[in-house]
Every structure is written in structure tokens, then in C-alpha cells.
Amino acid sequence: MTKAEWKRIHTDYKGTHDVEATETTGRHRVRFTIRQSKWISVFVTDEKRKEAPMFSGVPAQKPDLPVECTMPESVYKEPETQAQGAPFEAMRQSLDAGVKVVSAPQLFATSSKVARRMADLAGPLAGKRVLEPQAGTGKLVEAIFNEATGADCVRVVAVEINYSLVEGLKTLRNLTLYANEVNFEIHQGDFLQCNGDLGLFDAIVMNPPFVNGVDIKHITHAIGFLKPGGRLVSLCANGHRQREQLKPLADYWEDLPPGSFSDQGTNVNVALLVIKAATQPGKPPEAGWLF
């Protein structure tokens, strides 16, 4: 991609990572961004090429990093059937257009199984207005449509900050039966900058960024978009800050199994939470609502 395209990517979706030394090159850093829920290295086409340093013969020492510095976008990995995967394959091709990929070191794919469960925990969605504030590749949007028995039975508002992912969501909309700009609204922008412009929702289903505790900001911001009696279902990092600040707000909290991401190359812990807005201001939710 060009320097202008790199600059346009929000800081939540880009950074640098270390490449370990080999027999011919020393340890060095490369740029990366997120595409289709996976981290990929990026080559900037209109910038002076910087070759990897030659191997010095001295082993580099990798610093110890806190566990919460690297967080996934999703949980588990479930194979798609050919019919399920067709819309997403077209979307992947759209997102890859014009991007020169050096390598794809990590993949944190959102599980269809977990997406379906999250949509189910949001309650009956047919006839409802639902927000997906970090829509990404649209995995949760697809689950919402399925739970509501079709795109024509629910109104979804999807917010996504990344331009390429927004284009992918538009492709998904074009490939989804009965979906249109009325029942599948797509807004490009930073959800944390959205306030009253989106309105209120019967349900919110979300998988926010986890880096440096930003999931706490996204979830607490999203609570203000719930109608009375509405439900928010979200994944979050299962760290000390999240348990301290988010768990007291939750009507339901589940620690997902340790090592849920081991097949993806990381042992980050993740939790699933549900928050229900009071039916009336100042009135707590009714006990036992979830089951």
C-alpha cells in the first residue's frame, strides 16, 4: 500500500512487530495491519526500501511483554461449509485488492459458533434494531441475520473505522439475500466518537478491540446506546482491569476456556459478558432474565 493508505488506517488497526533472526538476517521490525480478522505485514510501495539487517551472529533478546498487550479479535476456529464461505471468500478478495502482502504471521478468526451464541444471548431479534459497533468482516452481522431468520426481519447498523473493511461489509451486503441500505446500514467511523447520531437499539452485539484495555471504553460507551430493557452481548479480554471494571456491570459473565486461542498461536484469555439495561430509569433488571 502507499504511505497515504498506511496513514489512513486507524492506530487500533496497525502497528509494528518483531521478525526473529534467521541464518541470513538479523532481528528487525515490520509494519502490520488487520485484514479479514488476521494480522498481515505491509510493504509501503512509495517509500525508500529498507532491507532487513544482516545477521550479526549475536542472538537478540526478546523483551517480556505483558499478556494484555496483544489481544485477539475473536474466539475459536470453525470450518465453514462451501455455501457459508462463499460470501466471505468474495469479501476477502475485495479486501485484498491493491495490498501487497509480505506475510501473514497470525490469524485470529471469529468463530461462527461463538457468533451464533452471542446473537442468541441477545434475545429474539426479529423486528428489532441491532447495533454492531466494530463490524470488521461482518461475522456477527451474519449471525444476527440468521437469528432473526433473515435480513428482511431485522434492522442492523454496522460501524467500522477501517476503510477496507467497510468496503468488505458493502460486498457482504450485496451478497446477502434481502439485505439493503435500510436493513443493513454501514457507517465508517470511530465508534467512540459516535454519540446520539446513531440512535438507540434493542440489542448490541460486539467484539471490540482489546489492545491496552480499549475494550473497556468501547463496552461502557456502548451501554448508552441501549433502549430500556435492551441487551448488550460482548467479548472482552479476561484481564484484571476488565474483571474489575466490567464484571460488576454484567448480568452474565463467562470465562472462556484457557487456551481457546492456542490453535491461533496465542494463549490470551477471553470472557463473554451480557449486560441488560433497566426497563425503567433507576429500576434494576429482573432477576433470572437470561434463562
Q: What is the pLDDT of residues 32-59, one digit of tens each?
A: 777 655 667 777 777 777 776 765 555 5
Angle (deg, nearest 10), helices 163-175 and 139-147: 30
pLDDT in tens, 190-239: 999 998 789 999 999 999 988 888 999 999 999 999 999 999 999 998 99
pLDDT at 78: 52
pLDDT in tens, 87-124: 555 555 544 443 333 332 333 545 788 899 999 999 99
Around Cβ 199, how many Cβ atoms within 10 Å? 10
Long-range contacts of 217-224 (CB under 8 A, 24+ apart): 217/192, 218/133, 218/134, 218/191, 218/192, 219/246, 219/273, 219/275, 220/245, 220/246, 220/249, 221/191, 221/192, 222/131, 222/133, 222/191, 223/249, 223/275, 223/277
Tell me the C-alpha distance between 42 and 54, whole Å. 20
Three cell numbers written together for 259: 487456551
Q: Indicate the pTM of the whole model.
A: 0.63
Tell me the C-alpha distance between 5 and 12, whole Å. 15
Q: Give the contacts of 169 (CB within 8 A, at least 6 positions apart).
A: 135, 137, 138, 141, 158, 160, 186
CB 132 within 8 A of CB 206: yes
Lowest model confidence (mean pLDDT) among 134-138, 185-189, 201-205, 273-277: 134-138
Lowest model confidence (mean pLDDT) among 75-89, 133-147, 268-282: 75-89
SS3 string of 162-199?
CHHHHHHHHHHHHHCCCCCCCCEEEEECCHHHCCCCCC
pLDDT at 63: 47
The topology (CATH level 3) of 110-276 is Rossmann fold (3.40.50)
**CA distances (Å), 157 to each of 1, 22, 145, 205, in order?**
29, 47, 12, 11
